[in-house]
Structures are given as C-alpha cells and as structure tokens.
A and B are shown apart, each in its own frame.
Chain A
C-alpha cells in the first residue's frame, strides 16, 4: 500500500500527529460555515469534525449564512480563522466577504475556502486575500496542519 499524500513518517494519519498545543499555545478558534445558496454540507461537517478532533474550538453554522452574519459572528466569537465550504458556485461571494471583513477591521482573521473551486476562480480568491483553498481529495492531516500553521503564523505577526 502506498503512502498517503500527507501521512507522517510512521504512517500514522491521526490528527494527534499534529502537535497543535505546541504550535499554538491556546486552542485555535475556527468558524466553519457556508455562505450563499447551496446546502451541501458533508464537507463542512467532516472538516468541522477533523478540526474539533485536533483540539480546535469549532464554531459550526448552518448553511446559507449572510455575509454580514458571518462577519458579526466572527467578531463576537473572536475567531482565528473562518473556513468557507462551497460546492455549487457560492465561492463567487467570497471576495465580497473579504471586503466586508476588511471594513470590519477583521484583517487578522485567516480565511480558508474548501470545496469545488475552478482553478481560475481560485486565483481570484487568493488575490482577494483568501489564505488557502482546499480542493476535493485534500486529506485530514493536510487540512488540519495547514490551518494550524496559518493561524500560528498569523498570531506571530
């Protein structure tokens, strides 16, 4: 059996293989949400579970959140990161979310998008300030480690 993309050297793929405590000190707070019209939420539920199992504090919301609601909740919950899950074109709203975040002075919150995002659109999202885009096939370790690293980097700034 070949190694997975992101398995650690000993072959272990449990989330515990990521030393989050060491990396972050206090637990990361991550909001996992969906904006726009689509309701496919297998992805957001799975990822919320991964992050929770990895020791992060997850604020999980129903789909169809308005951009203002996400911004307000991010502020109230004092989150380190927001993960937006998108399957059916709702990623097109993310640049508007980024604008609203800047207007609310939430520049220090890491925004991550996961789901079906065509490559050309992915470039637009990166330009708009999205820190990372996870496509289908991303593994649990890849997602957890990368989010932890982004948050740790951001806290250090």
Chain B
C-alpha cells in the first residue's frame, strides 16, 4: 500500500480516538501476558508490524526465511500425517491392530513399547503387574518381527519410540535381514533419540548416564547416515520440557539449543552437516495458548533455518527445513468434566495446523483418567479429519500471516526464544546447561509460576478453578492385559533364551562392552550384532549401564 503523509495522519488520528475510547470504556484494564511472559495488547496495528516487512520477515513457503512453511505446497500437497500412539500389551495383539491399520491404507506406523522396555528391563526382571499396561512388551528381535508380521517394512515408514541405546532400531534392522530386505529401503524415525530432553524432563526414557548417552547418540546418527540412509535418527524433543513446565518460548529455545548441541557433536566427529541435518526432525507440544503456540512454531522455523545455514554451515536447503511432529498438550486436559477436553484438543490442534506442522497426534479426551479407551481414541482421530475435511484448514498455506498481531507476536516470541538460547550458550551450551541443572531450574521456576497462577485463579481452568460443578467424574478401570496372555508371552521369552546360543550372545555383549571403551568403534553397530546373536533389550541395556553408567536425573529439585 502506498504511504503518504495524509493517510499516516488519518491513521494516527484514528489511533488516538480509539485509544481514548478504549480507556474510557474500560478504565484500569489489567495488563495481560501470555505463558511466555510477553505482554499482550488489546489491539495490533501497522505500528506494530507492517507489510513493508513482508519479504524479510515472511517471504514465500518453501524458501527463506521459511516462516510460512518448509514446503512450497504445505498441507495442500500433503496433509499432515496422523500418527496416533498405539500401545497394546503383546506383539501378537499389536500386530493384529497393525494389520487392520495397514489394510486401511496406512503407510506410517508407530511402535510404542511398555514402560519396562523403556527402562531397559526384560519381562522376567520386573513386577508382572506392570507388564503391558502402557504399551507393547518387546524384548527380542522375535518380538519386533511378530509386531511387524505382514507389514511391508520396505515401503512403510516406522516411527519407533526408541530411546538410547536404540535397541528397537537394532531389532528392526535384524528383522529386515531376516526378511532379505536391504537397509537402504528401511525408513522411519527414532522418536525418542533426544537423551538431553530425557535427562531434563522425561526420565522414563533416560537409560544411560549423560556422557555415555552422548557417545551412543553420535554413534547411532553416524551408523544410520551410513547404512540406513532413509532413517531419521534424530528427533529433537521440546514436548517433554514444555510438559514439565517450560514456557512455550523456553521449550522452543531449549529444543533449538539441543539441536545445536547434537549438530556440534556430530561435526566434532567429522560428519558433514549437509548429510546429517536433512535427517533431523523435531517434536513439540501444543498447549491451548492458541496464538502463542502458532507464533512459537513460526518463529522456531525461522530461527532453525538461520542456525543451520549460518552457524552450522549447511548449504543444502534440505538441511534448513524445520520438519516437526506435534502433540496436543495433555497438561491442559482436566479430569473434571472430561468431555470438555475434546474442545481443548480441537483448539490445540488448530494452533498446530496453523503453525505448519508435518505430523500430529491429538490426545484422547480421557487420557487424564486412564490410558485412552478406543472410543476416545477414535474421537481424537476424527477431530483431525473434521478440521481438515470439513473446516478446510488445509486450504490456505500459513493463513494467519500478515495479521498485525500474529506477526508481532512471532517477532516477540523469536526475541524471547533467542534470549533464552543466549543463556544456554553462556552456560557453555545445552549439554553443560543441563549437566549443571540450569535448564532444570528454569523449568522448575516456570512450572511453579504457572501453578501459582492456576491456584490463584489468575489462569482459569474450566471445571477446575472456574465454572466447577458437582458432576461425578466417570469411574474408569485400567485396561489391563489378561494374566494368561502375559504369561504366554513371558514363556516365549524363556523359550527364546533357551533356543539361542548363549555363547554367541555373551561374545557379542563382550564386544559391545569393548566398543564402549574404544572411541574408534561404533557402539550402535555392536548392538545390531548383539541382537542378531539373540541378545535381549534388557541384556543390551544392562550391559551398557554397567559400562557407561545408569541414567539418573539430577535430584536437586
């Protein structure tokens, strides 16, 4: 729009009129701020952001500065993928569900193991009452082979919830060998590769001590880059930290700082950023703070591209793309009046879509009551279908761009994210900042601050501190696997162990132990050999814990 003196003059006069009218109608209007602490004004105008900044701030989708999206076609070319978590107790049960999903046309699967697997213990090492209550008990290559029986692993993308030392990927590669499928056809993502986020905020996945996990991480990226080129070995996770209480700006900042740390570690190993960065992916939480989340994701995309290009020296634009999965925040869901959660998830999901995500998980409304029921899980999927096919949210790329508010907020969030990243940098980078507890302290402070706002009523939560009623909270029983089914699975593990060569397993585990002392060896390569020899998840994790140390969170809360 051409600018001239008189239109500026008109606008200033109108602005003045509006300000006085506003103050007159709403005297003493309280200051508002978003969860990241950014003050929110009642109105945004071209004084805050104007279209002169269009090219430097926004540009076009699929090119610098990437604010508007990482692909030229975005959701029109390919709608976001719907990755729902599936957790079923035994490999057979998981497989029965997967066959249905594949028959329905899915070309992407997720594997969610049981907590015992995450902790690195086999079925015979934990209290049976805990087995299979949260996910599938996968202890051996046979188990993963069974999970994926009838699934074409050369054409299906497989997301593994697979923390360091990545035994599930080793099982998958061993399964590919059994089936005569070459590794360059195997595609998918190591979803829980971010040991830093586990150390800070999700200790479920934290199996190995910090420095050992760092070594295994780089070995795993190097191995995947070389032998499994379509595999994404890195998913940098902001979700855990935001769920633990980080503000949206902090969560984005910590994620980007973590990605820098990972890239620096790979570069220090002599790896080429243009080889490993295109295989970096990210994973975020979407809270119900609607515009803040949209701005967080847009700002993150812009910052990452700059880091990849300027700081890490990546020349290929595939390295600059900020590919991310997002999950609606379970923290915003309430036990009181639980059907209200469907509305919350809808608002969160819209924010994620407007933020330009590549893949999404919407929470089931009842996950705050128990592990989700099938009905609730279906509603969660339907929510995404309705937003895409009925509300047509995939019609226009980055539809909020150019809004005075959204652009101002995107710039403000960017500034705040960079400020937090500077603190991490000053502490010596993300590894040091978490080792010394700086990040944990910041998250703890933000969590307490938010809780105080909720307790004080300043942050309303419908049904909890506002609009409460006496409606009963629906009784829920935990869906537990039958003891017989679980016992048969435990018997399978016994049989597996009796049929393998224990000598070969012992030798392979010794090789693994030696590799952990020999920097020139690749630990992950030795894990693949060990599971091919018949080593279990518990044996691999146990041996590496002996060698590299047991992963413990910092205790100073």
Contacts and interface: CB of A to CB of B under 8 A. Distances in A.
Interface in B232-250: 243-245
A93 B127 contact: yes
A63 B118 CA distance: 14
Interface string B542-557: 0000000000110101
B476 A120 contact: yes
B126 interface: yes
A2 to B, nearest CB: 5
Contacts of A93: 127, 129-130
Interface string B473-511: 111111000000000000000000000000000000000
B203 interface: yes
A38 interface: yes
B164 interface: no
A92 B115 contact: no
A132 interface: no
Contacts of B476: 118-120
Q: Secondary structure of the B side of the interface? A: loop
Contacts of B371: 89
Contacts of B464: 5, 137
By size class, the interface of chain B is: 35 or more
Which secondary structure dominates chain A's binding surface?
Answer: loop
B241 to A, nearest CB: 10
Contacts of B458: 1
A4 to B, nearest CB: 5
Interface string B194-213: 00000001111110000000
A89 B114 CA distance: 11
B203 A63 contact: yes
Contact of A37 (B130, B202, B448, B468): B130
Contacts of A13: 452, 455-457
B244 A42 contact: yes
A45 interface: yes
B116 A42 contact: no
A61 B455 CA distance: 25
Given A36-B127, A39-B206, A2 B368 contact: no
Interface in B120-134: 121, 126-127, 129-130, 133-134
A88 interface: yes
B204 A60 contact: no
Contacts of B190: none
Given A38-B204, A116-B369, A118-B370, A7 B130 contact: no
Contacts of B557: 45, 48-49, 60
B457 A39 contact: no
B402 interface: no
B465 A89 contact: no
A41 B556 CA distance: 12
Contacts of A7: 455-457
A89 B130 contact: yes
A2 B466 contact: yes
Contacts of B368: 116, 136
Contacts of A60: 555, 557
Contact of B553 (A4, A39, A136): A39
Given A90-B130, A136-B335, A46 B118 contact: no
A46 B203 contact: no
Interface in A8-35: 13
B460 interface: yes
Interface string A55-97: 0000011111000000000000000000000001110110010
B334 A37 contact: no
A155 interface: no
Contact of B202 (A1, A3, A39, A139): A39
A139 B458 CA distance: 14
Interface in A98-157: 116, 118-121, 135-137, 139-141
A118 B371 CA distance: 9
Interface string B434-445: 000000000010
Contacts of B474: 119
Contacts of A119: 369, 473-476
Contacts of B136: none
Contact of B465 (A4, A48, A118): A4
B243 A42 contact: yes
A155 B204 CA distance: 36
Contacts of B115: 36-38, 88-89
A37 B452 CA distance: 29
A1 to B, nearest CB: 5
Contacts of B206: 39
Contacts of A46: 447-448, 451
B334 A136 contact: yes
Given A49-B557, A118-B370, A136-B335, A1 B457 contact: yes
A14 to B, nearest CB: 9
Interface of A: 1-5, 7, 13, 36-42, 45-46, 48-49, 60-64, 88-90, 92-93, 96, 116, 118-121, 135-137, 139-141
13 contacts: A46-B447, A60-B555, A62-B553, A62-B555, A88-B115, A89-B130, A90-B130, A116-B368, A116-B369, A135-B473, A137-B334, A139-B454, A140-B452
8 nearest A-B pairs in the assembled complex, by CB-CB distance: A39-B203, A39-B204, A37-B115, A119-B475, A118-B476, A89-B133, A120-B477, A118-B370
Given A2-B466, A116-B370, A141-B455, 13 more contacts: A1-B460, A2-B468, A37-B118, A39-B203, A39-B204, A39-B553, A41-B203, A42-B201, A49-B444, A62-B203, A88-B115, A88-B133, A89-B133
